[in-house]
A and B are shown apart, each in its own frame.
Chain A
Amino acid sequence: MTPIKRIVICGGGLAAHMTAAALARQLPPTMQITWVNGPDSRDADLFFGGLAPPSAYAFNLSAAVAEPRLIVDTDTTFSWGTQFVDWGADRRSWVQCFHLTLPIVGGVLFHHHLWRQGITELEPFLLPAIAARQGVFAHPVAQGPKLLARSEYGYQFNSYSYKSPFEAAARALRVKIVTADVANIECREGAISSLHLSDGQVLEADLFVDCTGPDARLLSRLGVDVTPGRRLRAAWSHRTVERIGAPCRTLTAREFGWQCDTPLQRSVARLTVYSPEQESEALAAHGEPAQHSGEIMLGRRNVAWTGNCVAIGHAAEILEPLTQAPMLMLQRGIERLLTLIPCSVDMSVERREFNRQSGEDYTHAEIFNRALFEIPLPANTPYWRAAREEPAHEKLAQKIAQFESRGLLVAFDLEPFHNEDWTILHHGVGRRPARFDRMADRIPEAETRAMVGRVPHDIAEFVKTMPAHHDYMQNLIRYLKQKKL
């Protein structure tokens, strides 16, 4: 058995930075890691959407990037999720927030008790959603206030800034960084034998990690194709502000696509995503000159790993940054690679399992985004038509059928989005079940009424005591700088 000794990571974008740090932090010193930090894929990185899920905290830590570093060294802010505005023909608005398991009362999922009372909006029962609308933030702690403890938070970021501490971590962790571009890729028998770099170097390795973005330069050289999906363009700009805005993204549906404002530490970033056919309207609506712009095609490579080359990030799959799906997939891709780093140069078992998991993960994340379009469309324009016309996986039909019929959540193995994400999304788009769980009737009517009256009141009162996101962050940054953390 010949062990793996040399790993080469290629790419200059967010995916490459995170991969390099995570691998360096967790793999044994016997594995030599070289990172070809090529041209940055800033334009494609727009499509990560600037929103990291709650699991980012632990992920980053396992890549030697602790939260204090991220807060002090980058313009990252905290996030309760995404506020959707004017979504669908009914112009719905809700906060797609992060939340731990909702309470189960009398053996029955929480939302059934609401429906029994004729309440169809979940938001007043979700602390992070209310806090997001009020622009307030505090860290949820398990031992802290009970109301807050079930909330979860992620990060809002500008990928160019967010990735910098990962580079610092990789550098400190013995990664050999080569600043060059890949000039030529030599292949033999379905595998990469060497990379010729723009500076004349030739690199050989046992495993190549392709983080080169949508072009997947290594993987596509080995003949791996994409399943074609919708084409989207994005325009991005940011404007400086005095105060840090709300801890949530605000994503507004437009005829040409959507527009998302993300408050960062010193600015608000605006991302407009649109169908190429409606560029002039989209750019006019963007309102500011675009500082960056990009075009991508949604979808995934037919396999993420072939021969000795594995793709991470956009090189493997591209999801629309409507939700945290793109960052979830990126983190999970890296974690999957770590659990399946081959123990020998014959990596057939690892490859097969990686591809199986990556295919399932993509399907499960894609249907979450796709569920946002299973609604009466707001406009008969190219963006909305194309989104709806994309075939949906049958698992989505199962999930929707069960929710609409009886508010039940159908789940599959190890999905990236949790039942709470789905519950919030179903309510958000205005999906109504035909009946509620009968067992909810076992709780006396008055008791349920008191409960559904009390919770929103308590949440609203608690949120009033929380600090503004701006103040909380300023104090935290000051504290961290004093402590030199």
Chain B
Amino acid sequence: MQIERICILGGGTAGWMTAAALSHKFKGLPISIRLIESDEIGIVGVGEATLPHIRNFNSALNISEPALMKATEATIKLGIEFRDWGRIGDRYIHPFGDFGPNVNGVPFYQFWLRLRELGDKSRLDDYSLGVMLAEMGRFMSPATDPSRVESTFRYAYQFDATRYARFLRKYSEDNGVVRTEGKVVEAKQNAASGFIESVKLDRGESIEADLFVDCSGFRGLLIEQQLKTGYEDWSQWLPCDRAVAIPCETRGPLMPLTRATARAAGWQWRIPLQHRVGNGYVYCSDYISDDEATQFILDNLEGPALASPNKLRFKTGRRRLSWNKNVVAIGLSSGFLEPLESTSIHLIQEGITELIQLFPDKGFAQSDADEYNRRMALNYERVRDFLLLHYVANQRDDSPLWSHFRNLTLPESLQEKIDAWMTRGYIIKYEFGVFLPPSWIAVMLGQNLRPRGYDPRADAAPREILERNAAAILQAVRVAAQNAPDHAAYIRQIGAASDTAPLVANA
């Protein structure tokens, strides 16, 4: 028996991304999709910066890039700039892209490690077109021919998540999704199976469905409040539990970069959009009060604030099961990881993609839920380890938060990764998980984890040849970066400028 009715609870980023994807994928099939949201319940919209995978999501939905960028005040994101993470005064970029080509199966950075030992002063960043473009504030569309240096980077967006949800709402409604205004006050469970049969709204209407997608945010209206699924608390590793967000006017040139600056009790984000800059302070309430944190962010804005501070509370972790009975939790209802690497929207996307792959029928085979939960657990855990790396690889001693991290016992999976890196610059790879080796390399090197050795195969070629090859790559990257247009000019050139505010503002 096929599923006929899907009910999505919540109309934030998660709810509308789910509605958009399901309505597109199931177009033409006898499946009705309803989405319940209430204008009275605010949306968190934490994720303003994204990962390159979002482009696959949008293109699978046939969404035009300039139209989307224009509607969401989007800018290009080539990576994240981390400031003060290793030591105060440090800065590095985690780009979406490679650091030089492989040579005879050996990654280029191994040769760079050898060159460095020989006294070479070049940065690994200089071999990465993604980093070079980001530093210069330039951008071009990546080439598709893998032999060209212009193909060695990827990009994502920085956008207004609320506008993205609005954009997808229109898209979903055009695809036949029915939006119902209201608040869920009650859910009816089948006495025998415990499956959710219907939800009742504050206005009295009752909505039945075969499958419920819980996008209700932190509360987890069905997955937690109704089904008592349970939450795996990860705050022993990632103790930040609050955030205060506030937009402000832009100052200076429009950079294709998100910035994350380590602070005494957490870290501060800066996300440049076309019309404003998104700012926020993620902190641990053990080390700073809410008032102090709010004052801190207000004191650290580059331009006048454009709204009052928005305060958020959270507990890092993951729902024990993302899929329980006939409820699938997507987004914050399924887990929370701080937006240090812009993974919130990505985890929504993964949740949707896996749901489509494992889409159930009315029989709700347990094997489908098990496989879904296995895949999502892996996704969350691997992101968690990557986030934790940023915190533990620090050399700061200016505040108790950073000392706490330096003395932390790490999950074994992460400790082994760090050991392998420190011994010889070896990256323990996996296939399923969002962050590929170049990301790990960028963060480990960026936070001063210098390997003691390198792959002996990097010694196979004579020094002169190695130096000549390295110089050629440097030159190719530099030329390619210099030929790219300015970021703001690029946005205008492809017709993606919203023109609600000047793309480049002056103080």
Contact residues in B for A4 (Cβ distance below 8 Å) = 456
Q: Given known contacts A353-B426, A413-B430, is B460 in contact with A27 (CB within 8 Å)?
A: yes
Q: Given known contacts A343-B423, A414-B429, is B453 in contact with A107 (CB within 8 Å)?
A: no
Contact residues in B for A30 (Cβ distance below 8 Å) = 459
A338 adjacent to chain B (CB < 8 Å):
yes
Contact residues in B for A62 (Cβ distance below 8 Å) = 104-105
In contact, A353 and B456 (Cβ under 8 angstroms): no
Q: Given known contacts A343-B424, A352-B416, A442-B29, is B430 in contact with A405 (CB within 8 Å)?
A: no
Q: Given known contacts A341-B456, A438-B2, A438-B359, is B25 in contact with A353 (CB within 8 Å)?
A: no
Q: Given known contacts A401-B367, A405-B367, A408-B358, is B29 in contact with A27 (CB within 8 Å)?
A: no
In contact, A340 and B426 (Cβ under 8 angstroms): yes
Contacts between chains A and B (CB distance < 8 A), count:
94
Interface string of B194-229 (1 = CB under 8 A from A): 000000000000000000000000000000000000
Could you tell me the dominant secondary structure of chain B's interface residues?
loop
Contact residues in A for B27 (Cβ distance below 8 Å) = 442
A303 CB to closest chain B CB (Å) equals 16
In contact, B457 and A410 (Cβ under 8 angstroms): no
Q: In the assembly, what is the distance between CA of A31 and CA of B460, in Å?
A: 10
Interface string of A404-421 (1 = CB under 8 A from B): 011010111110000000
In contact, A438 and B29 (Cβ under 8 angstroms): yes
In contact, A28 and B460 (Cβ under 8 angstroms): yes
Contact residues in A for B455 (Cβ distance below 8 Å) = 339, 341, 343
In contact, B457 and A441 (Cβ under 8 angstroms): no
In contact, A26 and B460 (Cβ under 8 angstroms): yes
Contact residues in B for A408 (Cβ distance below 8 Å) = 357-358, 371
Q: In the assembly, what is the distance between CA of A342 and CA of B359, in Å?
A: 46
A284 adjacent to chain B (CB < 8 Å):
no
B368 adjacent to chain A (CB < 8 Å):
yes
Interface string of A75-96 (1 = CB under 8 A from B): 0000000000000000000000
Q: In the assembly, what is the distance between CA of A342 and CA of B357, in Å?
A: 42
A398 adjacent to chain B (CB < 8 Å):
yes
The A-contacting residues of B in range 104-162, CB under 8 angstroms, are 104-105
A349 contact from B29, B357, B419, Cβ within 8 A: B419
Interface string of A252-294 (1 = CB under 8 A from B): 0000000000000000000000000000000000000000000
B192 adjacent to chain A (CB < 8 Å):
no
Interface string of B361-393 (1 = CB under 8 A from A): 100010110110000000000000000000000
Could you tell me the dominant secondary structure of chain A's interface residues?
loop
> How many residues of chain B are within 8 Å of chain A by beta carbon?
38
Interface string of A98-119 (1 = CB under 8 A from B): 0000000001000000000000
Which of chain A's residues has its CB closest to B356's CB?
A439
B24 CB to closest chain A CB (Å) equals 10
Q: Given known contacts A343-B456, A353-B416, is B104 in contact with A26 (CB within 8 Å)?
A: yes
Looking at B420, B426, B452, B456, the one whose CB has the most chain A CB atoms below 10 A away is B456
In contact, B457 and A27 (Cβ under 8 angstroms): yes
Interface string of A433-451 (1 = CB under 8 A from B): 0010111011000000000
Contact residues in B for A107 (Cβ distance below 8 Å) = 25, 60
A344 adjacent to chain B (CB < 8 Å):
yes
In contact, A413 and B371 (Cβ under 8 angstroms): no
Contact residues in B for A342 (Cβ distance below 8 Å) = 456
Q: In the assembly, what is the distance between CA of A62 and CA of B106, in Å?
A: 12
A67 adjacent to chain B (CB < 8 Å):
no
Q: In the assembly, what is the distance between CA of A388 and CA of B365, in Å?
A: 27
Contact residues in B for A349 (Cβ distance below 8 Å) = 419-420, 423-424, 426
B356 CB to closest chain A CB (Å) equals 8
Contact residues in A for B358 (Cβ distance below 8 Å) = 406, 408
A350 adjacent to chain B (CB < 8 Å):
yes
Interface string of B409-434 (1 = CB under 8 A from A): 00000001001100110101111100
In contact, A28 and B426 (Cβ under 8 angstroms): no
Interface string of B428-444 (1 = CB under 8 A from A): 11111000000000000
B371 contact from A27, A29, A410, A437, Cβ within 8 A: A410
Looking at A4, A349, A350, the one whose CB has the most chain B CB atoms below 10 A away is A349
A41 CB to closest chain B CB (Å) equals 28
The B-contacting residues of A in range 22-38, CB under 8 angstroms, are 26-31
A402 adjacent to chain B (CB < 8 Å):
yes
Looking at B371, B423, B454, the one whose CB has the most chain A CB atoms below 10 A away is B423
The B-contacting residues of A in range 18-55, CB under 8 angstroms, are 26-31
A142 adjacent to chain B (CB < 8 Å):
no
Q: In the assembly, what is the distance between CA of A31 and CA of B459, in Å?
A: 10
In contact, A413 and B431 (Cβ under 8 angstroms): yes
Which of chain B's residues has its CB closest to A3's CB?
B456
Contact residues in B for A3 (Cβ distance below 8 Å) = 456
B26 adjacent to chain A (CB < 8 Å):
yes
In contact, A26 and B428 (Cβ under 8 angstroms): no
In contact, B361 and A441 (Cβ under 8 angstroms): no
A28 contact from B370, B429, B457, Cβ within 8 A: B457
In contact, A1 and B452 (Cβ under 8 angstroms): yes
Looking at A28, A31, A410, A435, the one whose CB has the most chain B CB atoms below 10 A away is A28
Q: In the assembly, what is the distance between CA of A353 and CA of B455, in Å?
A: 14
In contact, B371 and A344 (Cβ under 8 angstroms): no
Q: Given known contacts A352-B416, A353-B426, is B29 in contact with A398 (CB within 8 Å)?
A: no
Contact residues in B for A439 (Cβ distance below 8 Å) = 25-26, 29, 356
Q: In the assembly, what is the distance between CA of A27 and CA of B105, in Å?
A: 12
Contact residues in A for B42 (Cβ distance below 8 Å) = none
A475 CB to closest chain B CB (Å) equals 32
B109 CB to closest chain A CB (Å) equals 14
A231 CB to closest chain B CB (Å) equals 35
Which of chain B's residues has its CB closest to A404's CB?
B367
In contact, B361 and A28 (Cβ under 8 angstroms): no
Contact residues in B for A402 (Cβ distance below 8 Å) = 367, 371
Q: In the assembly, what is the distance between CA of A196 and CA of B25, in Å?
A: 68
Contact residues in A for B356 (Cβ distance below 8 Å) = 439
Q: In the assembly, what is the distance between CA of A31 and CA of B457, in Å?
A: 10
A418 CB to closest chain B CB (Å) equals 11
Known A398-B371, A405-B368, A413-B431; further 16 A-B contacts with Cβ < 8 A? A28-B456, A29-B460, A31-B456, A107-B25, A107-B60, A343-B424, A343-B453, A350-B424, A398-B367, A398-B370, A402-B371, A411-B432, A414-B430, A437-B359, A438-B26, A439-B25
| Chain A residues close to B by CB (< 8 Å) | 1, 3-4, 26-31, 62, 107, 338-344, 349-350, 352-353, 398, 401-402, 405-406, 408, 410-414, 435, 437-439, 441-442
| Chain B residues close to A by CB (< 8 Å) | 2, 25-29, 60, 104-105, 356-359, 361, 365, 367-368, 370-371, 416, 419-420, 423-424, 426, 428-432, 452-457, 459-460
Q: List 27 A-B contacts (CB under 8 A).
A: A3-B456, A26-B104, A28-B457, A30-B459, A62-B104, A339-B426, A340-B426, A341-B455, A343-B453, A349-B420, A350-B423, A350-B424, A352-B416, A353-B416, A353-B420, A402-B367, A405-B365, A405-B367, A405-B368, A406-B358, A408-B371, A411-B431, A412-B432, A414-B430, A435-B361, A438-B26, A442-B29
Name the 10 nearest CB pairs between A and B, nearest first: A28-B459, A343-B453, A349-B423, A413-B431, A28-B460, A343-B424, A413-B430, A401-B367, A442-B28, A414-B431
